[in-house]
Copies of this chain bind each other. A is one copy, B any other.
Amino acid sequence: MKQVGVVDIAREAGVSTATVSRVLNGAESVTGATREHVLEVVARLGYTPNAFAASLRKGRNDAIGIAVASISQPWHVKLIRELRRAIREQGFTTIVYDLEHSESVLIEHTESARRLRLAGMVLATGDRIDGDEVRAALDRMAGTVPLVVIGQELPGAGWTTVAFDDVAASEQAILELLGRRPKPVLFLGEAASSYLSEERRIGVERALSQFPDLLAGSELVALDAGMDFSVGYREVQARAGALARFGTIFCVNDELALGACRALSELGVRVPEDMMVIGYGDVDMLPYLTPSLSSLSGDVGGVAERVVRALLARIEGGHVDVGPKLQRKIVHRESTGG
């Protein structure tokens, strides 16, 4: 069964394919009566234009890619929602890519973006993108697809960056928590593969360096095993005997913090009385946990807005000043004493 095309519609409606195309693309010039008639035929024959033919002819694709490190992480899902909303307001469609924290998947997606001649691409990941292969793939993609990266700045990159000031956020949070309880900190971060962890660790160190004795007692862990609940759980369990020396567990994301809390509860360590716990991202579920979890929150809608503004500027061949890094704020809940 052959699908119906413009020519079928044109023949049936007694007009040219040009007129059909004009009606379907909302051209002003078509007479009311003609328009009605064509639309009636389109509906009757159940015609849907072939997107490939249209894009090929137009020489452009109105889709913008949204690539996130992992759709398993609620923060990224929130970001996707906000970006979609902002992008659709500008008349573009979106296509979501899940990187699954994998370099090879990212590289594949850059190729897909090129093949599809995407109008633009947004990349949000805390994983490093400065490895040789990844960097080359991104540079290659950015050559034809305007790119905006969320979260990390690379020297000499051919794209725009929108980011939170995580160094400052971490520093300030640690100072505030040390004010509540001046004891060493256990920082659960990720190894060299994570740009975000690096930034956040630097902030923590910066704050602690004001108190050399506390810094000496602190432990800044660099994990290699991903960042989910199980890892937070395992790392705290592994330090069961040494927990008394810490006053705060500072986690590079909310999932780690959740896992850490579970381990503490099993070990009989009370939160926040014996240990404060805080995460990063301020995901929706945090108020509903027991204890409810404190976190460093950031304005996702604000990020989306900036990203889209920057992307549109790039698409139109210009640049735009995205302004200073965005600020985070600390949200206290039970896990830091409310």
Chain A positions near chain B (C-beta within 8 angstroms) = 3, 46, 48-53, 55-56, 61, 71-72, 74, 77, 80-81, 84, 93, 95-96, 98, 100, 111-112, 114-117, 140, 143-144, 228-230, 232-233, 255, 258-259, 261-262, 265, 284-285, 287-290, 292
Contact = CB atoms under 8 A, between A and B. Distances in A.
19 contacts: A48-B115, A49-B115, A50-B56, A51-B52, A52-B117, A53-B56, A56-B56, A71-B77, A72-B77, A72-B81, A81-B100, A93-B112, A96-B96, A230-B288, A258-B289, A261-B288, A262-B287, A262-B289, A262-B290
A258 B285 contact: yes
Nearest to A48: B114
B52 A56 contact: yes
A112 to B, nearest CB: 7
Contacts of A144: 3, 48
Contact of A80 (B46, B71, B228): B71
B233 A259 contact: no
A235 B117 CA distance: 48
A158 to B, nearest CB: 14
Contacts of A115: 48-51
Contacts of A116: 51-52
Contacts of A50: 56, 115, 117
A51 B95 contact: no
A234 B93 CA distance: 36
A106 to B, nearest CB: 15
Could you say how many copies of this chain the assembly holds?
2
A117 B49 CA distance: 10
Given A98-B80, A262-B289, A265-B290, A229 B51 contact: no
B228 A117 contact: no
A103 B78 CA distance: 20
A284 B229 CA distance: 8
Nearest to A47: B114
A256 to B, nearest CB: 10
Contacts of A284: 228-229
A251 B290 CA distance: 18
A297 B51 CA distance: 40
Contacts of A51: 52, 115-117
A111 B52 contact: no
A71 to B, nearest CB: 5
Contacts of A228: 284
Contacts of A290: 261-262, 265, 289-290
A46 B93 contact: no
Contacts of A143: 46
A71 B94 CA distance: 15
B288 A262 contact: yes
Given A72-B74, A262-B287, 13 more contacts: A3-B117, A51-B52, A52-B116, A80-B98, A93-B112, A96-B96, A229-B284, A229-B288, A255-B285, A259-B288, A261-B288, A265-B290, A289-B290
Contacts of A55: 52
A233 B259 CA distance: 21
